[in-house]
Amino acid sequence: MELSGFFKSKASSAQDEDSAPLLPAGVIGANDSAARLSVIDDFEQAGIGWIWASNHQGKLIYLSNSALNRLELEGSQLLGQSLVDLFETDAENPEQGSERPLKFQLTSRNKLKDLVVRLVPASQNGSRRIWWAISAHPKFDSRGKFEGYRGSAKDVTVEYERKLEDSRLAEYDSLTGLANRHRMTRRLEGTLAAFKSSRRACALMMLDLDRFKQVNDTMGHPAGDELLRQVAERLRSIIGERGEIGRLGGDEFQVILPDLDDRGKLGELANKLIQIVSQPYPIDGKRAIIGTSIGVAIAPYDGLEKDEIVRAADLALYAAKKGGRGAFRFFSADLKDEEEERALLLDDLREALTNDQLELHYQPVVRTKDDMVVGFEALMRWEHEERGFVSPGVFIPAAEESNLINTLGEWALRTACIAATNWPKSVRVAVNVSAVQFANPGLIDIVTNALAQSGLEPERLELELTESVFMGDSETVDNTFRMLKDLGVRLALDDFGTGYSSLSYLRSAPFDKIKVDKSFVDSCTQKDQNSAKIITAIIGLSEALGMETTVEGVEAFDQLELVIEKGARFVQGWIYSKALRIDEIEARMGSGEFKIKPDGPEIYRAERRSVFRRIGVIHDDHRYDAVMRDLSKSGAFIEGLLGVPLDTGLVLDLGAGQLVVCKVTRSQDAQIAVEFETPLVSDGAGGLCTRHRVSPYALAAAGMPLTSLPQGNYPIEQLQQGARTKPQFLQVTSGRVAA
């Protein structure tokens, strides 16, 4: 292509030479077009830079031949094409991301200076991306009409790729390839700022790996690094394009999920993450097993700024860990500083252990064919003078993290063995042993001493283990199993079928019993679940391997009949008995035989929850105060309103922005039953919550301040400021409520 058309003067080349200034010999003058063109050609051929031009339509009409040769492209692949189709800026680069789009700059006819762009056709055809730095000035004719750009370009691929790599190293975790803390902080701040102006929601998940420290301690730090890499891959496979994942350091991860505030979907995603992360990890021919806990906070409901949302998600995470791990938890305004709470809990637990304030209660294991008690599972109970009953699901995980679990476990073994010596010899006692206790080198001595001090026959002691004991070094695990069997004690695999079950455990470990987890029993009578088939399979598998099976958590006759039909010979659950104090057991032993007849509801209703909770009931433009006494996913039982007709439409104000549309299905005296238009979802802590909440933006539109939702009810308070109709129902307060 000829370049002369762009650089020759419109005036004739035969201008009067007498009018030109005198120049030294050999110097190229302004009017020496041929010489000037030769210099430009030399410049282009040297590869120092290239020259380009566009027309008024924004199409490339000239590019140095040396550039085309370097790109190994035909001129037709570039010339005549639109600049916005040929070049694109790097949106991922923080420096470039703040620039206006290239199309806007060209349309505005702005001056371009060292703007780095990616050459689209070359990058598509070649094996690597090609980056140019382009500069240009807009060209106008004598009447001010735009004629296009005249500019220069140079290849900056090597320098720019190096810069991108440096930027990537500064923004991404070198071990996992995930975003690092710096990038996640910047992305979260940017997302929240943008979403605040557009009134959009954004969820934040905080993940912490459970038992990761034990992997590092037992398998070494290289194994821990490989495990973190595999965790990152699993997180990517689940989250996909829905959000950005970051590793904040150690075993802490974070996920930003824009435009997601549906707590039903978030709960499903959290459960899936827990399930997948908890599957075994193959590392150097061994298997590592961990779990994860997840805290979830959602902007703008739980905060508007980055620090607010991060703290809310952290508090939810600590609550999930405190509640037993392997679980998720949504933030709620009543969560305390869990780190401080955990430290106080451990101090109280140490004091309780020292002062004999802990007890063991024993839940019977019953033979179904004759209702005979064949064993008891020892369960820890702690009644605190101020805290009241403290769930083992709360204090056991805290004890595991602090190493107090070994002292606690030794006390439980010794106490249970002594208690069992007063029972008939046909009755065994089972004691739970955590993964931390199992990894303790002193476990064998502890079991030996407990048997020796009590005089209990080894075959009457059953140690209940979960699959998490297999997370350690396989050789050490095998040796511990062998020594326990040499002592003569029995081994039971607890919670089989949940989390990360593997048949290889049954092949390699000498278990005497498998326990079917309560989660399968809860749903075994539901037609759309496979739990009954799973129970059948577990029972059949254990029998084929010569093991016993105990089905846990049976509470109703429909469940009992089903598991017996599937082959269950031993059952443990409330339908026979809750855990009993030792004096109750000894009193009921009588002549030495202990039979328990099943007693419970005919049908199991998992969703029913007895509650005592003040709520608001909204009808038309009035809000009434009432008490909710029963709650399920699909409805509730409410006291406090008289004269509510059937089929009346109501809105329940459950607090913290949770409004539930419902219809009255039963009404008697001051009591009504309602059915929800949209079912509630799990809050991750054994309770229920609405999928969505009233946005603070909606409250602001109604005249309330735009801040994070504080604790309390949001009854659309303006209803009481100028109600237009008389109340249709009479609000009453029962004596029990007043008390």
CATH number (domain holding residue 644): 2.40.10.220
Q: Is the pTM of this model over 0.75?
A: no
Residue 14 confidence (pLDDT):
43
Residue 501 shares a structural domain with residue 634: no
Q: What is the rounded distance in angstroms from the CA atom of residue 60 to the CA atom of residue 673?
A: 73
Residue identified by tokens 């603070």 is 696
DSSP state of 643: S
Please indicate, yes or no, if residue 210 is contained in any of the structural domains. Answer: yes
Residue 550 shares a structural domain with residue 631: no
Among 310, 335, 360, identify where a domain stops. 335
Residue 487 shares a structural domain with residue 443: yes
Residue 497 confidence (pLDDT):
66
Residue 578 confidence (pLDDT):
93
Element (H, E) at 177: none
Please indicate, yes or no, if residue 456 is contained in any of the structural domains. Answer: yes
Please indicate, yes or no, if residue 666 is contained in any of the structural domains. Answer: yes
Element (H, E) at 419: helix 404-420
Dig out the tokens for 370 from the structure. 């004759």
Residue 398 shares a structural domain with residue 466: yes
DSSP state of 467: G
Residue 283 shares a structural domain with residue 356: no
* Buried/exposed 698-720: b ≥16 CB within 10 Å, e otherwise: ebeeeebeeebbeeebbbbeebe
Residue 81 shares a structural domain with residue 188: no
Contacts of residue 640, defined as CB under 8 A and 6 or more positions apart, other chains included, come to: 617, 624, 625, 626, 627, 670, 731, 732, 733, 734, 737
Residue 321 shares a structural domain with residue 176: yes
| Domain span including residue 394 | 350-589
Among 589, 624, 639, identify where a domain stops. 589
Percent of the chain having pLDDT more than 70? 85
Residue 675 shares a structural domain with residue 733: yes
Please indicate, yes or no, if residue 306 is contained in any of the structural domains. Answer: yes
Q: What is the rounded distance in angstroms from the CA atom of residue 338 to the CA atom of residue 319?
A: 6
Please indicate, yes or no, if residue 203 is contained in any of the structural domains. Answer: yes
What is the four-CA torsion angle of 549, 550, 556, 561, rounded to 10 degrees? 30
DSSP state of 47: T
Residue 478 shares a structural domain with residue 578: yes
Separation in Å, CA 629 to CA 119, 185, 333, 622, 637: 67, 43, 22, 22, 6
* Buried/exposed 557-576: b ≥16 CB within 10 Å, e otherwise: bebbebbeebbbbbbbbbbb
Please indicate, yes or no, if residue 22 is contained in any of the structural domains. Answer: no
Q: Kindly report the CATH number assigned to the domain that includes residue 377.
A: 3.20.20.450
Residue 8 confidence (pLDDT):
44
Q: Say how many C-beta atoms besides its own lie within 10 A of residue 179's C-beta.
A: 21
Decide: 8 and 33 in contact? Cβ < 8 Å. yes
Amino acid at 187: R
- Residue ranges of the chain with pLDDT lower than 70? 1-23, 25-26, 29-30, 46-47, 75, 91-100, 122-128, 324, 336-339, 471-473, 497-505, 508, 528, 590-593, 605-610, 699-724, 734-739
Residue 431 shares a structural domain with residue 572: yes
> Into how many domains does the chain fold?
4
Residue 608 confidence (pLDDT):
60
Please indicate, yes or no, if residue 345 is contained in any of the structural domains. Answer: no
Residue 115 backbone phi and psi in degrees, to 5: -80, 120
Residue 165 confidence (pLDDT):
75
Among 136, 163, 190, identify where a domain stops. 163
Decide: 669 and 654 in contact? Cβ < 8 Å. no
Looking at the DSSP bridge assignments, the partners of residue 637 are 630, 673
Decide: 616 and 713 in contact? Cβ < 8 Å. yes
Dig out the tokens for 7 from the structure. 């650089």
Residue 566 shares a structural domain with residue 613: no
Residue 682 shares a structural domain with residue 703: yes
Please indicate, yes or no, if residue 342 is contained in any of the structural domains. Answer: no
